[in-house]
Structure 1
Amino acid sequence: EQSPEQLLNALLPLYLQNQLLRSLQESAASELASRMTAMNNASDNAKALAKTLTLDYNKARQAAITQEILEVVGGAAAMG
């Protein structure tokens, strides 16, 4: 049977290795969580930008159509 001092000397390095490994794993998990949050934010921003650009495109297209209609109506009115 080992003495308490021998047991402590045998287990202490294992405990310290375990604590170090746990710290490294928590650090890696934290980094991955931060990356995931950043990517989610980027994805949300891209969706919002796409929506804004679609609305702007549709407004510009509608303005062009309206302008064409006004030109046709104006031309028809001028002819008679």
Structure 2
Amino acid sequence: WPNLPESEQQWPLRSINHASLISALSRDYHSLKPSATAPQRKVPLGDTKVIIHQTLSVLEDIVENISGESTKSRQICYQSLQESVQM
């Protein structure tokens, strides 16, 4: 928050909240990846493309909007996005 001193920024809470937001926004995207515990669900190709396009579009907007923020805010964003980027 721009008007708060560094000591009042609540970085750990903001990091948790950001990670939760990214997780919720990319839930369908992540469900496309098969895992050892859950078999890959069968999604029609057209739906798969829509899920990927919508998710990556939202994540792109988040990255563009965070680019002018403080280093700590960018780090939180980067950490939250790692799983989606590496998928």
**TM-score normalised by length of structure 1:** 0.32
Higher relative contact order (CA closer than 8 Å, sequence separation 6+): 2
**TM-score normalised by length of structure 2:** 0.30
Higher-helix-fraction structure: 1
**Which structure has the bigger radius of gyration?**
1
